[in-house]
Amino acid sequence: MSRGEFVYEGKAKRIYRTDEAGVFWMEFKDDATAMNGLKRGTIGDKGVVNAEVTRRVFQHLEANGVPTHLRGQVGERDLLVDGLEMLKLEVVMRNIAAGSLVKRLGLEEGRAFREPICELYLKDDDLGDPLINDDHALALGLASQAEIDQVKALGRRVNALLQGYFAAADLVLVDFKLEFGRRAGEIVLGDEVTPDTCRLWDRETRRKLDKDRFRQDLGGVEEAYQEVLRRLVAAHA
Ligand code: UDP
């Protein structure tokens, strides 16, 4: 399989065609952004870590019945994926209070919820990805009610699976973001699952091992990403 024509560049990835119709080459960049693009930088070898973490996580999800776009890995920072018709939605799952929710609801960071929280956001950079509900998603034609029900159910299932997957590496899955698309009428998990899109804390010390180190200028950003990959490799040989 070879890399073909360039298609699209996002904040963290570049997409190319391949010689197989409908299959795309996803290159993970070291570029990092936060605060809706206001803060920019690079995190050394982030792309390598994120490609490897996404491949491992998506293989684990597939093995447990969650359909994903992953086809395979073709380079240290390159995955092959099925092209999906992406929903203009982000699904966020939360187990512990952190980030925007702490501000919105006036919570103390680190408070564990009795039940996981599932939220929908409109994918729109100009609007800063606002929080929406099912009715907004339906009214805007982003998805059918059946599809909304499905992405929420998949969000909860992925959360349950990944809590265990990360716990085996002594990592607490605080919250994370998923993106879904359609493939031949079926809802499929796309995009990535990485320390860019998850909050992961050390079980013992609660040290942040994710993009919050970059967002909040905590230092040790590269080391945190490497640590997550190292632990996952050790826990899931
Ligand atoms: N997240 C993401 N992309 C976004 C917004 C959020 O990957 O555009 C992830 C983020 O890393 C965190 C979770 O979703 O793990 C919840 O993020 P939150 O709503 O707290 O927003 P933030 O505080 O990151 O702006």
**Ligand 1 atom 10, closest CA:** 197
What confidence tier does 40 reach under pLDDT thresholds 50, 70, 90? Answer: very high
| Contact partners, residue 221, CB within 8 Å, separation at least 6 | 32, 43, 213, 214
140-151 as b/e: b if 16+ CB within 10 A: eebbeeebbeeb
* Rounded CA separation 150/156 (Å): 10
Reported as a single tens digit per residue, the pLDDT across 129-158 is 999 999 999 999 999 999 999 999 999 999
Q: In which residue are the tokens 């990944």 written?
A: 162
Residue identified by tokens 């080391």 is: 223
Band (1; pLDDT cuts 50, 70, 90):
confident
SS3 45: coil
**What is the Cα Rg of the chain in Å?**
17
Decide if pLDDT at 237 tops 90. no
Q: Which two tokens stand for residue 35?
A: 């605060």
Task: Give residue 23's Cα distance to chain centre.
Answer: 20
* Three-state secondary-structure class, residue 155: helix
The pTM score is: 0.98
| Residue 129 exposed, middle or buried by CB count within 10 Å (0-12, 13-18, 19+) | middle
Question: Which atom of ligand 1 sits closest to the CA of residue 102?
Answer: 20
pLDDT over 90 for what percent of the chain? 98
**pLDDT-derived band of residue 5, with 50, 70 and 90 as boundaries?**
very high
Q: Are 71 and 49 in contact (CB under 8 A)?
A: no
pLDDT digits (tens, 9 = 90+) for 185-231: 999 999 999 999 999 999 999 999 999 999 999 999 999 999 999 99
Ligand 1 closest atom vs CA 175: 15
Ligand 1 atom 25 nearest Cα: 100
Residue 174: Cβ-neighbour burial (10 angstroms; 0-12, 13-18, 19+): buried
Q: Which residues line ligand 1 (CB under 6 A)?
A: 92, 99-101, 129, 175-177, 197-199, 211
Length of the chain: 237
Half-sphere exposure of 82 (CA within 13 A, CB side): 19
Structure tokens at 101: 């929710």
- Mind listing the pLDDT tens digit for each residue in 80-139? 999 999 999 999 999 999 999 999 999 999 999 999 999 999 999 999 999 999 999 999
Contact 202, 230 (CB under 8 A): no
Between the CA of 19 and the centroid of ligand 1 the distance, in Å, is 34
Residue closest by Cα to atom 17 of ligand 1: 99
Q: Give the mutation target among 43, 175, 221 for probing the ligand 1 site: most ligand atoms within 8 A of CB.
A: 175
For each of the domains in the chain, give its residue range(s) and CATH number, in order of start.
3-82 (3.30.200.20), 85-219 (3.30.470.20)
- Ligand 1 centroid, distance to 132 Cα (angstroms): 14
Mutating to test ligand 1, I would choose from 91, 159, 197, 208 the residue with most ligand atoms within 8 A of its C-beta, which is 197
3-state secondary structure of 174: strand
